């Protein structure tokens, strides 16, 4: 199973944008996750179609993905 950390932000246009982190630190506290997200926001280094995609903190969650191969050609 692959686990990732999904950081969910509010955009400056009122929409939601997610940032996914592979192989995250597990068992993050709310405070640590919010600190990291606020650091990303304070950098103000992203712009998408004239808007800031990472303007406010919405939430963070771990996401697990299960991949089951049927077959693979070698």
Give the Cα separation of 63 and 38 in Å (integer). 21
How many Cβ atoms sit within 10 Å of the Cβ of residue 24? 17
Mean pLDDT score across all residues of the chain? 93
What pLDDT was estimated at residue 21?
Answer: 95
By CB atoms closer than 10 A (0-12, 13-18, 19+), residue 7 is buried
pLDDT digits (tens, 9 = 90+) for 42-73: 999 988 888 999 999 999 999 999 888 999 99
Q: What is the pTM of this model?
A: 0.83
What pLDDT was estimated at residue 67?
Answer: 85
Domain residues of the chain, as ranges?
3-64
Q: Strand order in 2-10's β-sheet?
A: 16-22, 2-10, 56-65
């Amino acid at each position: 199973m692959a686990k990732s950390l999904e950081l969910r932000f509010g955009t400056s246009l009122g929409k939601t944008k997610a940032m996914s982190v592979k192989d995250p630190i597990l068992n993050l506290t709310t405070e640590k996750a919010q600190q990291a997200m606020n650091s990303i926001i304070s950098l103000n280094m992203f712009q998408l179609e004239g808007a800031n995609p990472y303007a406010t903190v919405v939430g963070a969650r771990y996401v697990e993905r299960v991949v089951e191969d049927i077959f693979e050609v070698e």
